Amino acid sequence: MIKIEHLTKKYGNHTAVDDLSLDIEPGRIYGFLGPNGAGKSTTMNIITGYLAATAGTVTIDGHDIFKEPGKAKQHIGYLPEIPPLYPDMTVLEYLEFAAELKGIPRTKRMQEVDEACITSGITDVADRLIKNLSKGYRQRVGIAQAILGAPDVIILDEPTAGLDPAQIIEVRDLIRSLGKEHTVILSSHILSEISEVCNYVFIISKGKLVAADETEELLTHMNGSQEVDLVVRAGQTQTEDIISAFGKADGVENVETSDSFEPGCISVRVHAGKERDIREAVFKAAVNAGLTVLEMTTRSRSLEDVFLELTSADEKDNTDETTEEGGDEE
C-alpha cells in the first residue's frame, strides 16, 4: 500500500528523518511511536505530500508521491498535528469546503459529508461553529475531514494530544472503528496508546527506525525478558570462565560482567530469552562453577524500559537541538 524507501529529510544540516524504510500493508492500524522530535510529523508530512524529501522515495499504491502527487494523494486522508480547521465556519460548512478541495463531485458531496459526520460521531454538532466546540469534538471534525472521500489510508498525527482522558478514550475508540474499513497510521509519543490501538508498531528515534513489529510480538518479547544480577566471589575463577559457566545455563541468552566494588568479587548480569524464569538455572550454574553467590536479584524489563532504552539518547539530543534552534530564532 505505502512503501517508504531510504527516506531522508534534512533541515539545514540537521537530519530529521534518516534513511527510513518501511512498508505499510492494507487493513491494519499502524503506530509511529517515538519521543518528541523523533521525526514522526516530518515523515507524515512527506508521505502525505505536504513536504518534499531530501532523498528517498514514497510510493502509495504504486504512485510516487513526488512524481504523481494527484494519484498518490487520492488514497490518503490526513489529520496533521495542527488540524487545518476554520473556527468561524460551522462543521457542515467546513466539511463541504474540505470535500470540494478534495475534488469530490458536487452531487456526491452532501452524502459524503453526512457519512463522515456519522462515522466521526459529530452529526449532533454539524450546525455549530467550530470555535464553539470542545477540543475533543474539534479533533473529531478533523478526523471527519480526513475520512471524506473514503481514502484507503488515514494518517493521524498525534490525534489524542491535548485531549482530556474521556475524550482520549472516545477518539481511540473512533480510531479502532476506522481501522475496520481503512488502513490507519497514527503517531504518538505515548507507548500505552500505541500498544492499545495499533496492530503494528514502528519505533522511531532520531529519524531512524529502531524497531518494527506486531504489537503483540513486541509486548511478549519485551515484557517477558528477565535479567538476573549477581555478585559472586570469584576466587581463582577467570572472568571468561564465569561468562562461559552462566552462558551454558538453560534459558540464558547473554552474560555481562563488571568489576564489583567488593574485592575479589565480580558483578554479573545474565539476560534470559523471552518469558524464561532462569533463576534456578543461574544459581546452579554458579554453584557448579565453584562460585559463591553473595547477591542475586531479578529484574523484569517492561516495554516502557525498552522504549526508553531505544529512544532515551535521542530525547536528550533533541532537547539540546530544540533549545539551540529556539535560541537562534529569537
Task: Please provide the DSSP assignment of 12-63 as one string.
Answer: TTEEEEEEEEEEE-TT-EEEEE--TTSSHHHHHHHHTTSS--SEEEEEETTE
160 belongs to the binding site for Mg ion (CB under 5 A): no
- In the complex, the residues that contact ligand ADP under the rule CB under 6 A are 11, 14, 16, 34, 36-42, 318, 321-322
Total H helices, total E strands in the chain: 11, 14
Task: Please provide the DSSP assignment of 176-214 as one string.
Answer: HHHTTTSEEEEEES-HHHHHHH-SEEEEEETTEEEEEEE
Pick the stretch among 3-11, 36-44, 50-58, 162-170 that binds Mg ion (CB under 5 A): 36-44
Instruction: Rank residues 133 and 201 by Cβ distance to ligand ADP and give the closer one.
Output: 201
Minimum Å gap between C-beta 60 and ligand ADP is 19
Minimum Å gap between C-beta 152 and ligand ADP is 23
318 belongs to the binding site for Mg ion (CB under 5 A): no
How many residues at the interface with Mg ion, by CB under 5 A? 3
Closest CA to 145 of 116, 168, 124, 125: 116
Instruction: Rank residues 39 and 149 by Cβ distance to ligand ADP and give the closer one.
Output: 39
Cβ-closest residue to Mg ion? 41
- Which partner from the list Mg ion, ligand ADP, none does 160 bind, CB cut-off 5 to 8 Å by kind? none
* Cα 239 to Cα 76: distance, rounded to the nearest angstrom: 57
Instruction: Rank residues 120 and 205 by Cβ distance to ligand ADP and give the closer one.
Output: 205
Grid cell for residue 4: 517508504
- Which partner from the list Mg ion, ligand ADP, none does 11 bind, CB cut-off 5 to 8 Å by kind? ligand ADP
41 belongs to the binding site for Mg ion (CB under 5 A): yes
Minimum Å gap between C-beta 91 and ligand ADP is 27
Instruction: Rank residues 81 and 196 by Cβ distance to Mg ion and give the closer one.
Output: 81
- Residue 220 phi/psi, 5-degree rounding, is -70, -40
- Residue 261 phi/psi, 5-degree rounding, is -75, -15
The answer to whether 273 touches 228, Cβ cutoff 8 Å, is: no
Site of interaction with Mg ion (CB under 5 A): 40-41, 81
